[in-house]
Structure 1
Amino acid sequence: MDGEEEIDLDRSLRNLLFDGLASQIMFSLLTVSIISSYLASRNASPLLIGLVAATPYLSQLVQIPSAIFAEKFSRKKLSLVSNAVSRISLLAMAFAVLSASDLVMFIAFFAIYNVFKEISTAPWSSWMRDLIPDSIRGQYYSTRMAYGKLVSLFAVLAFTVIFNLLGSATFPLLFSTAFIAGMVSLYFINGIDDVKVGKTGRRSLKAPLKNRNFLKLISGTSLWRFASELALPFYSVYIIAVLKYPVWIVIALTAVSQLSSIYFLRISGRIMDRFGNRPVLALSFTAFSIAAFLFTFTTMPERHLFTLPLLVVIYVLDGFYTSVPGIALMNVVAKISPKGSSASYYALNYVINSVFGAAGSLTGGIVASFFVSANFAVKIDIESSLGFLEVPALHFASYDFLFLISAAISLAAIKMLRLFDEENAKDEQTVKVEMKRAVITDICSLMTAMHIPLPNTSNYVKFANQSGFSALSLNYQPSLEPLPSIPEDLNKGS
């Protein structure tokens, strides 16, 4: 690459790693769950929450024009300037919360944060593509992502404790911390060497539209994006408004999701390489449908003994379907796009999924508002000589209908995804068994390390032998592999 002799690669990669740690802390404090929790604490309507949740997706549309500037000016300067504006808006959000001003100000600054963050995406991705050598890119991104998620987990846990002590008064501190982490990230970005833009070929958005297999892929993934964003912004709203849990419970569940994400990224990389990306995508879509459906059983009609355990299970699944699909999708787009012409495929994939995600959030707000007073219940009456007993069998109310619709659409997306043809991909059942093996192996490895006797040892040995690994050594390779190679578009530090 041009100017390679002038680049201190070791120093640049070190600064990029520290940028990843700081930026991941910032992102972890600005999730949809946290933003929705704040809006719910201010008694915002479901329609408004859906609109705000759509903002990150709508703002991604600016990536198309920003790509033009990425080729004409210094990509480092564009990244620094746009990210500076984006992160300063976080401080403005903190002041808006602290002053208890109208929600319009908070939403406006949140929109500014997202728009300028996305303006930096194209120049950042192009810059990192030219900076990091191909031979170490996958391993480097895996390490960077793993460390970033681990550090951000401690930040989330810390705010869980603070929310438990201070309640909603914690929000100004949270957004201020996100601002500080963002500025620290900028400091390290400034320490990364710039790379001159090389010659680029002409990119056309028409070529992917002529690829029928690509269109089948996008049809399934965009429909799932619509389904997931129909419900995801309202998970935290449901926990606070319906289940009446404090905000710190939402933050704690977010930490559970992050732990789950780290784990599933760890075991999914080799599985995707060996068995294909499509079946992993399908399983993640299924996991979302199960999670959305389980939400409807957290009340009967009030919260019950199993409500919190159900929420933990839901957020364990959340870690899987919010982290793995992005990697699998980027991998499969790379497989089906012609060499040297993948940019248009990535761009079209990103924009279409963003539009459907925004539409899902907006539709979710409308649907939630429509069903806010709806109620459906099925009860079983048992009458005997001992007396009369009424047992609630099913109870759906308000947001439950939204979650059911979302789960159903997600299942339809799986059907559409199966029309996509991925070379050498195995069936979903094979991948499901493989992931089960990895999870069981890791659980047994942990129990062995802690000197806890394994239950049903004979059954485990039988399953292990069928799985092709030793139950005594517990040496299952997929779970011991590093994180999968992460495309630069998903791991930008901006």
Structure 2
Amino acid sequence: MMNFRPSEDLSEKDVSRGLKLVIAEGMATESMVVFTGGAFLVAMAVHMGASNFQLGVLAALPTFSSIFQLVSIWLVQRFKNRRAIAVLSNFFARFPLIVIGLLPILFTAGTSIKVLIFLLFFHYYPGSIAGASWNSWMKDMVPAKQLGAYFSHRSRLTQSLNVILSLFVALSLDYLKARHPEYMMSAYSGMFLIGGGFGLLSVFLLSRTPEPATAMVNDSIFKLLKKPLKDKNFRSLLTFNSLWAFSLNLATPFFSVYMMKTIGLPLSYIIALGIVCQISSILSIKMWGRYSDRYSNKTIINICAPVYVICILSWAFVGMASSMVTTLVMLGLINIVTGFSTAGANLAISNISIKLAPKEEAIVYLTVKNISIAVFSTIAPMTGGLLADFFASHQLTGGFSWSGGGHTSILNFMDLQGWNFFFIIGGLFAMLSLRVLGRVKEFGEVDKDKAVVYIRKDIKRTFSREVKRAGLIGSPAFSSGLVRKMRQLFHTYP
């Protein structure tokens, strides 16, 4: 029988082994997510005839279930064994995926959208309990000075895998839809079975990962929950996180729906655009991890978040493009900048919470943060789904007209309707949340403008050094140097 008992003192070798296992576990979990979530889950729900509200519920489920992370605090306090809690909770979270995959095989009626939502709730619920334990576990195991570099490396690898799997699955589904549309539900069911298998593999890898002993305070849960709220600095972070989560989840869950229903893009195009975003993120996240360790997480948020807000607002003007080619070019540019900005913003937002949480009460602080985010992230897409039909019948236009010589020319600079209203509102709320971020204090914080100057000089210096080392830009040596640098992006974490 496997021993889940935490270790009082992990050796350097144990920590190194644990860090590698967490990366492998992340790869398996990412494979599960690709097959059972994201754009593929939206496509499956649309295929099953889901309403806008039901699409909003599906988008809200992962965050809504985070409310139940309170159970994780009680379990960790009671048993002081985060690995056992995370492993067992994740084990039970994977079975609903397999049940969803088996339903069309066992019953001719197949799976209805209501049954899908019901089963996915019991997938996300125990998964949220595992997530709270995992966050506290990782804070104690990952060295604080390597936090940004380590998780940026892990994200880069999981995103690379996401790109490969997503492209393969998207092309397969588009081929099947064109040649054998009657087998689409069977294909989605098979994806859930494969995803469930990868999920169980991630549980096995997690069970092999060592855990340092925790020293959690034994107060009542209600007393513990008050501590993060009394911490003025962490309370400011909670306010920022809540507003940011609301603004993003009001708009971003419907990007795929917008491209699918309004623009009419095939699934492979949507996945290809997502891959462009992922590649942009992969190529930049190592840089953001290094800079977040050097200049602070808050500095990186102040640099990246405003850029992402511009990306959200830009979605409102995609529908105004004069041709499909122009639309695709605009979507491509938005996704490139989105990947670059979210790589830094998401990494820094996650890491600043871990950094500001006291070691002895990390699980409490992080759980309160996750619950506050869950509440606002749940309200946002459900609100968006309910209001979708209202905005579908309303339109806001603006422009100039020029008359002369018997001709009238009209130049429209604004044509908002349907989902576009959500993108504008979401962007405005995101801008509001950034004002709250100014009240958050982080040790080692560097002024944003100074950091931008440093980062720009660092990039120029690195580029110049490579050019001088290789000689002329067009030389074979320079080309081989670029190839070497690209390979280094995927080096194994030491």
- How high is the TM-score relative to the length of structure 2? 0.80
Note the C-alpha offset of 1:192. Answer: 3.8
Aligned length: 461
2:97 is equivalent to residue 90 of structure 1 = yes
Structure 2: which 5+ residue stretches go unaligned?
Answer: 1-5, 476-480
Could you tell me how far 1:223 is from its partner in structure 2?
0.6
Q: Take 1:425 and 1:130, find their aligned partners in 2: how far apart are those partners?
A: 23
Match of 2:196 in 1: 179
Q: TM-score, normalised by structure 1?
A: 0.80
Distance 2:324 2:142 in 1: 52
AA aligned opposite 1:149: Q
Q: Secondary structure at the match of 2:111?
A: coil
Percent of residue pairs identical: 23
Which residue of structure 2 aligns with residue 317 of structure 1? Answer: 337
Alignment of 1:42-57 (within 5 A): 42-57=48-63
In the alignment, what sits opposite 1:305?
Answer: 325
- Structure 2 CA distance, aligned partners of 1:226 and 1:184? 33
> Is 364-373 or 92-101 further displaced after alignment?
92-101
- Tell me the alpha carbon deviations over residues 238-294 of structure 1, each in whole angstroms, 9 at most, x when there is no partner: 000100001122222222222222223211123223333223223333223211211
Quote how far apart the aligned CAs of 1:137 are. Answer: 7.0
Please state whether the residue corresponding to 1:394 is helix, strand or coil.
strand
Q: CA deviation at 1:60?
A: 0.7
**Which residue, out of 154, 157, 161, partners 2:171?**
161
User: Which residue type is aligned with residue 207 of structure 1?
Assistant: K
Whole-Å separation in 1 of the counterparts to 2:351 and 2:67: 22
CA distance in 2, matches of 1:440, 1:41: 49
Q: For residues 47 and 322 of structure 2, what CA distance do their matches in structure 1 show?
A: 20
Equivalent position amino acid for 1:392 in 2? N
Contact kept in structure 2, 1:153 and 1:258, CA below 8 Å? yes
1:106 has 2:112 as partner: no
> Take 2:384 and 2:284, find their aligned partners in 1: how far apart are those partners?
28
Q: Which residues in structure 2 correspond to 1:297-376 (within 5 Å)?
A: 297-300=317-320, 304-338=324-358, 340-376=360-396
- Please point out which of 22, 25, 34 is paired with 1:28: 34
SS at match of 1:396: strand
Alignment of 1:369-388 (within 5 A): 369-385=389-405, 387-388=407-408
Please give the alpha-carbon distance, in whole angstroms, between the structure 1 residues aligned to 2:112 and 2:363.
41
Q: Is the 8 A contact 2:97 2:193 kept in 1?
A: yes
Instruction: Give 2:74's aligned amino acid.
Output: I
TM superposition shift of 1:114: 0.8
Task: Select between 383-392 and 273-282 the one with higher mean Cα deviation.
Answer: 383-392
Instruction: Provide the aligned C-alpha RMSD in A.
Output: 3.8
Q: Matched residues in 2 for 1:142 and 1:368: separation?
A: 36
Greater share of residues in helix: 2
What's the counterpart of residue 252 of structure 2? 232
Give the structure 1 partner of residue 307 of structure 2: 287
Q: Is the contact made by 2:256 and 2:270 (CA closer than 8 Å) also made in structure 1?
A: yes
Distance 1:6 1:432 in 2: 38
- CA offset digits 1:405-462 (Å, max 9, x no partner): 11111111112222333444333333445555667778889999897669xxxxxxxx
Given residue 71 of structure 2, which amino acid in structure 1 is its aligned partner? P
**Corresponding position: 1:260 with 2:280:** yes
Are the structure 2 counterparts of residues 142 and 369 from structure 1 closer, same or farther at C-alpha, using a change threshold of 3 Å?
A: same
Deviation at 1:308, TM superposition (A): 0.8
CA shift in 2, pair 1:301/1:3, >3 Å? closer
- Select between 109-118 and 14-23 the one with higher mean Cα deviation: 14-23
SS at match of 2:421: helix
How far off its partner does 1:126 sit? Answer: 4.5
Give the counterpart of 2:426 among 382, 406, 411: 406
SS at match of 2:263: coil
In structure 1, list runs of 5 or more residues that go unmatched: 455-472, 486-494
Q: What does residue 478 of structure 2 align with?
A: none
CA shift, 1:309, in A, is 1.5
Matching residue within 409, 414, 419 for 2:439 = 419
